[in-house]
Amino acid sequence: MFSITEEIECYIACITDSSLLPLMGMNIFLALLLFTVYLKAKSSVFRIFSFIAAQLSMVFAIGMVASAMQCSQMLTIEIYTAYVLASSAIILLLPCVYYKALIKRYRARPITEVMDWPQHFVNILSKKAEVYYYDSAVPRAFASGKAVFLSMGMLELMDESELKAILAHEVWHIRHNNKTPILRQLSIMTFTRNRSEDELELLADIFAGEVVSKDAVESARAKLN
């Protein structure tokens, strides 16, 4: 008969006896470090690299734990299952909270602090989307989670119909992301530039063209090039 306390005792005994203990600790520490790098990374190459490296060092750590086990293999399997469950939960939840990290990183503020109509306009297209602006002269717009980000540079460069086209474009991304299967979402998060990105941009532009006007989309694009 298995008892969980016995198992844990055996576990602790096996691990403390193991010569691999410092290596295991280092590996887990490394994995956590790499996950932090992954979350903070700004370039896509960095993100891919840190994500894969983090997963690898986690798998190594679990492998070492398994090899150190002499008495019970069960708990290792249980721990592995727990890890898989926890990491999938994080992967599932991350897109929902990641935009909050972006709000902090860009010190973004709700757009309603400077102008009212963009949030009203977005409310028509999506019930949950929130519009933020941030302090930078470089014209940029992007969406994450349920947030649309516009730089001040974008706000001052575009006229109202162009801004509407940009907002519609970003809202399309938000709607589309919510419909994207988890695995693809993960691949988009990790590999921020993949081949189908141009395709997505085109679809978002088509949507913006339908909601606002083709001319608005084209003149906004022209101003950005």
Partner 1 sequence: MVKLDRINLSNEGLTKFFSPIEAQIMEVLWTNEESATPEITAKTGIPLSSVAGTLDRLVKAGFATRKVDKKGQRVRYLYSAAESMDNTANTITKKVMDSLVDTFGKVAIENFHTYQNKK
Q: Does 106 bind partner 1 (CB under 8 A)?
A: no
| Residues binding Zn ion: number (CB under 5 A) | 2
Of 10 and 224, the one with the shorter C-beta distance to partner 1 is: 224
Cβ atoms of 73 and 10 closer than 8 Å: no
CB 131 within 8 A of CB 150: yes
Q: Say how many C-beta atoms besides its own lie within 10 A of residue 210's C-beta.
A: 12
- Is-contact 179 139, C-beta < 8 A? no
Q: What is the DSSP letter of 114?
A: T
Say whether residue 137 binds partner 1 (CB under 8 A). yes
157 contributes a contact to partner 1 by CB under 8 A: yes
Name residue 108's amino acid: A
- What torsion do the CA atoms of 92, 96, 101, 103 make, to the nearest 10 degrees? 160
Binds partner 1 (CB under 8 A): choice among 75, 121, 129, 139: 139
- 198 interacts with, out of Zn ion, partner 1, none, CB within 5 to 8 A per kind: none
Residues 6+ apart with CB under 8 A from 97: 145
Of 4, 92, 117, 196, which lies in the binding site for partner 1, with binding defined by CB under 8 A?
117
Q: In the complex, what is the shortest distance from the CB of residue 200 to Zn ion, in angstroms, rounded to a whole number?
A: 7
Q: Which does 137 bind (CB under 5 to 8 A by kind): partner 1, Zn ion, none?
A: partner 1
Binding partner 1 (rule: CB under 8 A), the pick from 48, 153, 190, 221 is 153
Q: Which of 116, 197, 198, 199 binds partner 1 (CB under 8 A)?
A: 116
Spatial distance between the Cα atoms of 175 and 191, rounded to a whole number of angstroms? 20
* CA-based end-to-end distance of the chain: 70
Of the listed pieces 1-9, 47-55, 77-85, 136-144, which binds partner 1 according to CB under 8 A?
136-144
Can you tell me whether residue 150 is helix, strand or coil?
A: strand
Contacted entry of Zn ion, partner 1, none for residue 156, CB cut-off 5 to 8 Å set by kind: partner 1
State how far the Cα of 110 lies from the Cα of 121, in Å rounded to an integer: 14
Choice between 72 and 161, CB closer to Zn ion:
161
Minimum CB distance to partner 1 smaller for 111 or for 171: 111
121 contributes a contact to partner 1 by CB under 8 A: no
Residues 182-211 that bind Zn ion (CB under 5 A): 201, 204
d(CA 162, CA 139): 13
Residue 143's SS3 state is: strand
Q: Which residues bind Zn ion (CB under 5 A)?
A: 201, 204
Q: Which residues bind partner 1 (CB under 8 A)?
A: 114-117, 136-139, 152-153, 155-157, 160
